[in-house]
């Protein structure tokens, strides 16, 4: 049977969202970024708000998100996406605005922007992809790198006495009055993808209701930076990242 | 039409004028000697008057990135700060220049380096006209020398910013920001509606309609050839700005044998120095620079065919003099005189410097 015989409307069970472009993803095979992009775009499509949404992607592996997300996008400086998003949203309170940030971006260089946007309750959605490492720059230690975890700048494992402890930004922003929904998810299995998508949907629904900042962390992998195969990386993530960064909703609206 | 006359501080005048110019948003962070800008804006409730957004950011870094976001969505947006805060904004300004976004930035300069002093200074000239942040870019730099010009130039600055899709820096100083003078204010101009923004600025990220190309605001081009092409495009724009937007003013230059070259507060001092010099029989004039980029090279070149010497007067240890000397190109004597670190030169000191460094030197 040829592909053209199989690909017919009556056989269609799944279709790529129109809000993803046809550009080939630049991510490493097995990387969670592609899935996180897709479910975010699927949520926008399902809610019918793609035309009203502006995305902000700062520096990190996902700096080229605008090549893949088929909506209006702004590329931001490292760490500054929540400020850029604030600028857009304050001027267009009726539009949907989200940031898509890595852990180095959100929890190190952009800590101030993240905390203050959440504390002001900016009516934006923050998607936070935490892979415990600086993927883009070649696997250096991130603020989220686990104790004892190896990276190119903690080659003998993260020594917390010397390098400090990993920072749980998601628990931190859940404390702030400006956030209405804070959740931690994963995207490495279909079950997790479904849950993560539900959380992202809720985040945008609450943005629609002007409920303040909504924040979804996605604990993800970086097989290149972790120097593992994709399968090993996912197993390592389950065994090491999830106990430290437990999945589930951390704050939900009353 | 009768224009409204008020007595205001420079910082207040620019804040009021920006509202009237139809600005959509201001993001800032307090720092002396320019905190009156955000204080005035907050007291005026522009969100009620015109719908203008005013927000106190958590830092100058955040403020300039808020500017980036709003500008990228086609809004008329501005920020203000003073020297240390402007240093913090430089990465953002470089991104704004790279992504070709229009915005207005006010620097009410104080003495540095470091925390320096809250007294006025002009020591941020290099930072303003030579780049400031990383990469090959230029800001359009306007230098007001009165409270009236604080109000006037912010209107021009928005027009220039949108004409060229380029950030415009208003380079003021603690004297102009803090002093009170009478100022005529323009009538309120309407802010553009979201629909008008969509019509006028096709590049603005206002939401991608089905069947249209998505808009991307970015300064990134990973391939060297693409980045080079973008740089060549930027340089063409800067050349066009240099060809079209040079602005200066001359006082008693017609018969002058010596000219002072100055901008901002120093130009005010030099105006008095011209009178003083003439009372002593020295035919002095003043070339007051309004645009620092583009720099009035051609006019300085022309004056070298007429005058015997030039004294660049600046509240710095000698920054603008480098551009003056380049334009003079060795044809006549050109020297720097400055007081700095928060000090302001007196007309007597300036005339004395002319006599000793240029005429007798
Ligand atoms: C001001 C600044 N400092 C440093 C960098 C270099 N840099 C680019 S991405 C990055 C870290 C990205 O890590 P993360 O946010 O975790 O994203 P990931 O690539 O892991 O998805 C760094 C340090 C930069 N672009 N700008
Ligand atoms: S380096 Fe890591 S985060 Fe970046 S694309 Fe590869 S696997 Fe993903
Ligand atoms: Mg990372």
Per-residue pLDDT at B147 exceeds 70: yes
Residue B175's pLDDT band, with cuts at 50, 70 and 90, is very high
Residue B294 domain flag: yes
The minimum-distance atom of ligand 2 relative to the CA of A138 is 1
Report the residue of chain B nearest A48, measured CA to CA: B210
Per-residue pLDDT at B1 exceeds 70: no
**Nearest residue to B121 via CA among B280, B338, B301, B268:** B338
Per-residue pLDDT at B2 exceeds 70: no
Looking at residue A8, its pLDDT comes to: 85
Is residue A129 lining ligand 2, measured as CB closer than 6 Å? Answer: no
The minimum-distance atom of ligand 2 relative to the CA of A30 is 7
Looking at residue A210, its pLDDT comes to: 98
Q: How far is A236 from chain B (nearest CA, A)?
A: 32
Residues from chain A that touch B103, judged by Cβ atoms under 8 A, are none
Answer yes or no: do B351 and B276 share one domain: yes
Answer yes or no: do B253 and B187 share one domain: no
Delineate the domains of chain A, giving CATH numbers in brackets. Answer: 27-251 (3.40.50.970)
Question: Is the predicted ipTM greater than 0.90, yes or no?
Answer: yes
Tell me the per-residue pLDDT of A127-169, one tens digit each, with 9 for 90 and over: 999 999 999 999 999 999 999 999 999 999 999 999 999 999 9
Residue B60 domain flag: yes
Residue B201 domain flag: no
Looking at residue A70, its pLDDT comes to: 98
Whole-number average pLDDT of chain B: 97
- Quick one: average pLDDT of B139-149? 98
Q: Which of B152, B175, B194 is the last residue of a domain?
A: B194
Inter-residue contact B215 to B205 (CB < 8 Å) = yes
Residue B233's pLDDT band, with cuts at 50, 70 and 90, is very high
Report the residue of chain B nearest A63, measured CA to CA: B220
Answer yes or no: do B11 and B101 share one domain: yes
- Quick one: average pLDDT of A83-87? 98
Q: Which of B194, B219, B240 is the last residue of a domain?
A: B194
Boundaries of domain holding B355? 248-359
Answer yes or no: do B157 and B26 share one domain: yes
Question: How is residue A8 written in tokens?
Answer: 């017919």
SS (H, E, C) chain B: CCCEEEEEEHHHHHHHHHHHCCCCEEEECCCCCCCHHHHHHHHHCHHHHCCCEEEECCCHHHHHHHHHHHHHCCCCEEEEECHHHHHHCHHHHHHHHHCCCCEEEEEEEECCCCCCCCCECCCCHHHHHCCCCCCCCCCEEECCCCHHHHHHHHHHHHHHHHHHCCEEEEEEEHHHHHCEEEEEECCCCCCCCHHHHHHHCCCCCCCCCCCCCCCEECCCCCCHHHHHHHHHHHHHHHHHHHHHCCCEEEECCCCCCEEEEECHHHHHHHHHHHHHHHHCCCCEEEEEECEEECCCHHHHHHHHCCCCEEEEECCCCCCHHHHHHHHHCCCCEEEEECCCCCCCCCHHHHHHHHHHHHHCC
- Quick one: average pLDDT of B181-192? 97
Residues from chain B that touch A66, judged by Cβ atoms under 8 A, are 214, 216, 218
User: Do A74 and B219 count as a contact with CB atoms less than 8 A apart?
Assistant: no
CATH code of B28's domain: 3.40.50.970
- Quick one: average pLDDT of B42-48? 97
Rounded CA gap, B260 and B12, in Å? 30
Tell me the per-residue pLDDT of B245-292, one tens digit each, with 9 for 90 and over: 999 999 999 999 999 999 999 999 999 999 999 999 999 999 999 999
Interface test with B, best of A60, A90, A108, A119 (most B CBs within 10 A): A90
Residues paired with B6 in a beta bridge: B183
% chain B with pLDDT above 70? 99
- Quick one: average pLDDT of B23-46? 98
Looking at residue B134, its pLDDT comes to: 98
User: Do B72 and A88 count as a contact with CB atoms less than 8 A apart?
Assistant: yes
Answer yes or no: do B268 and B142 share one domain: no
Q: What is the pTM of this model?
A: 0.97
Answer yes or no: do B190 and B252 share one domain: no
Residue B102 domain flag: yes
Residue B320 domain flag: yes
Q: Which residue has the higher pLDDT, B31 or B361?
A: B31
Q: How many domains does chain B have?
A: 2
């Amino acid at each position: 049977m040829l592909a053209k015989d199989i690909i017919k409307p009556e056989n269609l069970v799944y279709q790529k969202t129109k809000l993803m472009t046809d550009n080939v993803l630049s991510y490493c095979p097995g990387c969670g970024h592609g899935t996180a992009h897709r479910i975010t775009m699927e949520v926008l499509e399902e809610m019918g708000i793609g035309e009203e949404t502006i995305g902000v992607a700062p520096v990190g592996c996902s700096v080229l998100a605008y090549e893949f997300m088929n909506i209006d996008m702004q590329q931001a400086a490292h760490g500054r996406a929540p400020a850029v998003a604030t600028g857009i949203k304050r001027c267009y309170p009726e539009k949907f605005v989200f940031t898509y940030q890595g852990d180095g971006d959100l929890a190190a260089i952009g800590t101030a922007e993240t905390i203050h946007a959440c504390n002001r309750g900016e009516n934006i959605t923050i998607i936070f992809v935490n892979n415990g490492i600086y993927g883009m720059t070649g696997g250096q230690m991130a603020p989220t790198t686990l104790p004892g975890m190896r990276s190119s700048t903690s080659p003998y494992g993260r020594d917390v006495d010397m390098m400090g402890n990993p920072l749980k930004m998601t628990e931190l922003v859940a404390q702030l009055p400006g956030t209405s929904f804070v959740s931690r998810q994963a995207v490495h299995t279909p079950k997790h993808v479904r849950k993560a998508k539900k959380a992202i949907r809720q985040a945008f629904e609450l943005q629609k209701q002007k409920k303040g900042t909504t924040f979804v962390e996605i604990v993800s992998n970086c097989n290149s930076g972790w120097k593992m195969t994709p399968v090993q990386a996912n197993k390592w993530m389950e065994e090491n990242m999830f106990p430290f960064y437990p999945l589930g909703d951390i704050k939900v609206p009353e | 039409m009768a224009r409204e006359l008020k007595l205001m501080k420079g910082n207040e005048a620019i804040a009021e004028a920006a509202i009237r110019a139809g600005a959509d948003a201001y993001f800032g962070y307090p720092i002396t000697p320019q905190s009156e800008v955000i204080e005035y804006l907050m007291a005026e409730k522009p969100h009620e008057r015109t719908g203008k957004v005013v927000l106190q950011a958590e830092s100058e870094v955040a403020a300039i990135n808020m500017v980036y976001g709003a500008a990228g969505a086609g809004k008329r947006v501005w920020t203000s700060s003073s020297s240390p805060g402007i240093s913090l904004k430089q990465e953002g300004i470089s991104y704004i220049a790279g992504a070709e976004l229009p915005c207005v930035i006010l620097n009410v300069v104080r003495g540095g380096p470091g925390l320096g002093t809250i007294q006025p200074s002009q020591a941020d000239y290099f930072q303003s006209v030579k780049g400031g942040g990383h990469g090959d870019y230029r800001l359009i730099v306007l230098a007001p020398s009165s409270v009236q010009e604080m109000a006037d130039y912010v209107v021009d600055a928005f027009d220039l910013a949108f004409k060229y899709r380029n950030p415009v820096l208003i380079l003021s100083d603690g004297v102009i920001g803090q002093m009170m003078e009478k100022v005529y204010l323009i009538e309120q101009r309407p802010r553009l509606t979201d629909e008008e923004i969509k019509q006028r600025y096709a590049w603005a990220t206002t939401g991608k309609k089905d069947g249209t190309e998505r808009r991307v605001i970015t300064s990134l081009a990973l391939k060297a050839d693409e980045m080079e092409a973008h740089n060549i495009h930027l340089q063409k724009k800067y050349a066009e700005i240099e060809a079209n937007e040079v602005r200066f003013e001359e006082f008693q230059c017609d018969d002058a044998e010596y000219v002072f070259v100055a901008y901002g507060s120093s130009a005010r001092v030099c105006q008095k120095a011209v009178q003083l010099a003439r009372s002593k029989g020295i035919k002095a004039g003043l070339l007051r620079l309004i645009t620092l980029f583009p720099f009035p090279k051609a006019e300085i070149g022309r004056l070298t065919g007429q005058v015997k010497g030039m004294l660049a007067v600046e509240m710095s240890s000698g920054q603008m003099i480098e551009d003056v000397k380049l334009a003079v190109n060795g044809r006549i004597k050109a020297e720097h005189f400055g007081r700095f670190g928060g000090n302001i030169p007196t007309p007597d000191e300036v005339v004395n410097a002319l006599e000793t460094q240029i005429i007798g030197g």
